[in-house]
Structure 1
């Protein structure tokens, strides 16, 4: 009898349809602010003013996590924009530990530990993925914001 193995859960790729944009920034204390401004400007310029504040907050939280929890020299931000949705991938070069969202009841009252809780609350979808096969070389945290129908 052949042993059964679980198939990995498919990871969502960047959407094929839409305009693509990329920003590569040094993984430094200034990166969250620079990326936040980049995404805000991009969303206003591409006709998504209603997504600006949620997008800025989500990308700032994810880039801050990369800065605080990795030693990756660079952070890459890939954005795909189409008329209905915006998908953002934040990639760093430390695939070892994929980030996880603490359950809301376990989130401390302090300033730390709520980034992915906020992303989950604001995004239509979000997730993580290790990049590279068979040995991961980087990881991405992604989220999708959708316009109201």
Structure 2
């Protein structure tokens, strides 16, 4: 490498370019996959949205972030949880990344009890949502994401 060349560094994956507008800003939050992860990350997402002028999306983002991060804690053995929040003038995207491409199967007693509604809640409240797998033909990680739009389903 010559004196003029700079080494390149790898960063966590950003949301797909088709979902990220040109005038957006992305924030990345990371914590250990521990029982308090959902509370910590949902509160940080709320603070971020209120700080960036998206107060009307904050409470729905709080609920959906909590549901998805709780799923990561309950159904994967990943060591860390990465959350990316992309905001622009009218909307926000929240991506919850973990390094397990699939959830472990949910125990029947959880599915039949009060649990098992997380993605149903996401589907009902988000303007859009999905799961993105990373790693080509043999996925190595995934992100569950949702989009909230000012004046949309998740706006209060």
TM-score range, shorter chain: 0.7 to 0.9
The alignment of Structure 1 onto Structure 2 pairs a total of residues equal to: 130
Please report the TM-score for the alignment, with normalisation by the length of structure 1: 0.81
What residue in structure 2 maps to residue 37 of structure 1?
A: 43
Structure 1 pair 49–95 and aligned structure 2 pair: CA distance change class (3 A)? same
Contact 2:76 2:103 in 1 (8 A): no
Q: Please tell me whether residue 90 in structure 1 is matched to residue 92 in structure 2.
A: no
Shift of 1:98: 9.1
- Alignment partner for residue 72 of structure 2, among 52, 61, 66? 66
Shift of 1:111: 1.9
* Residues in 2 aligned to 1:147 and 1:98: alpha-carbon distance in whole angstroms: 34
Which portions of structure 1, spanning 4 or more consecutive aligned residues, are displaced by more than 4 angstroms?
none
Residues 74-99 of structure 1: CA deviation (Å, up to 9, x unaligned)? 10001100011100100101113499
Instruction: Mark the runs of 5 or more structure 2 residues left unpaired by the alignment.
Output: 1-14, 106-110
Please report the TM-score for the alignment, with normalisation by the length of structure 2: 0.78
* Residues in 1 aligned to 2:36 and 2:102: alpha-carbon distance in whole angstroms: 24
Instruction: Mark the runs of 5 or more structure 1 residues left unpaired by the alignment.
Output: 1-11, 100-106
Residues 99-129 of structure 1: CA deviation (Å, up to 9, x unaligned)? 9xxxxxxx74x32011111111110000101
What residue in structure 1 maps to residue 62 of structure 2?
A: 56
What residue in structure 2 maps to residue 147 of structure 1?
A: 150
* Residues in 1 aligned to 2:38 and 2:85: alpha-carbon distance in whole angstroms: 15
